[in-house]
Structure 1
Amino acid sequence: MCGRMAITLPHDAMAQIFDAAPGNDLPDVPNFNVCPTVQIHTVTSDGAARRLRPMRWGFLPHWYKATNDGPLLINARAETIAEKPAFRAAVRERRCIVVASGFYEWTRLDDGTRLPWYIFRRDGAPLALAGIWQEWERGEEGHVTCAVVTTAANAPMREVHHRMPVILERQDWPLWLGEAGKGAAVLMRAARDDVLDLYRVDRRVNSNRATGPELIEPIDS
């Protein structure tokens, strides 16, 4: 799964990397502890131009009467995304890229202790996570919301968790964003085993109130 992220790139760097026009209301960076329900950085395309824009992390189906009217949908499983009523229209029509520097995952000891790991691209590039999005409105309240698409973990990730986000390579961005026609379903697979690296980080990140660059510093495991 993907339940916590870090984003350290400046807005202009993200805009340049993804060839996207940046919005003027993007979340502050860096943020070493990005949690669900906050605004995150995403890339969308209308076929002619890309936008770097904020979205609420936590997909809201159109039938939700309030933001807390059902489960918090921060992830969408690739295996069932085309069948689930909450996601099936979005995966056909509203796909996005979620930009991150890395994400966190946890292993659990027999005594219940949760040990956090930081996962990032081995080549130092930002993560381009497959996402879906949807606009949601109730009365005067409105949000642009999104979820990260996940799949079965590759070999390195299985040491930590059985799920992982779908990670898009640069050559796949046009297809996922709908710029290169249909067939994006083939991209919903695990990354190659040599794409990611990971290491243990301090348990301070277990708190969603923790901040600071030390959250992504490696510790002896």
Structure 2
Amino acid sequence: MFILNSGRYILLLMLVQSFEFIQTKQCNIPEDNEDIDWDNFPNAWYEVLHTFDPVMDKDVFGAKLHNFTKTSTGVQKMVTELHKNSPSQTFTVHYTKKEAGIYRLAKDDEPSFQASQSLTPEGRRSEDAAKIDDALFSGDLLISSDEENYIIYAFCSYADEWVVWVVFPSMNPTIQQLTLMWNKLMEKGINVQLHLSESVEHPENFMGF
């Protein structure tokens, strides 16, 4: 069971809001990234921070990443996404490693992404969210992690802006974990304003997933 202390949540919110950087106008995937040993990962990670892009501004309430498995070409994982007004979706994601820290998503996974992230509860298509998913599948994805405290997913939108999703092994990341994550973002030259995932306020929604 997840228990979110109200004082801890306020502290986290204040810390996130205190890092209001001027967002960079040009999005470039950095070079010289660290390799990741996927065999050492905790079993489950939870989305806590994001750039409030059209995907996270639509119907996605929160995400749980689990069952990381190293493959011959990279890594695969399961993703469970909760939605505000539609049923949850669980799907498999396959990453092909290009070089240390740089991955490409398998095109076969795109329909699952779009079904979960681009379709509205009314069955319509969110074009803005679809563009984010299309950019994700068309370009390189930076994955940065110390294999214990955080995972940063970062890629460039078609508007040449950073899209950043950050997950932690708990919905209650410590100040140390947040600091390590911010230091890594600054090291990579990724200056963005991040927002709290709504699931952090209501972690009980992940009961059973």
TM range, smaller chain: under 0.3
- Specify which structure has the higher proportion of helix: 2
TM-score by length of 2: 0.27
Higher relative contact order (CA 8 A, sep 6+): 2
Larger radius of gyration: 1
TM-score by length of 1: 0.26
- Specify which structure has the higher proportion of strand: 1
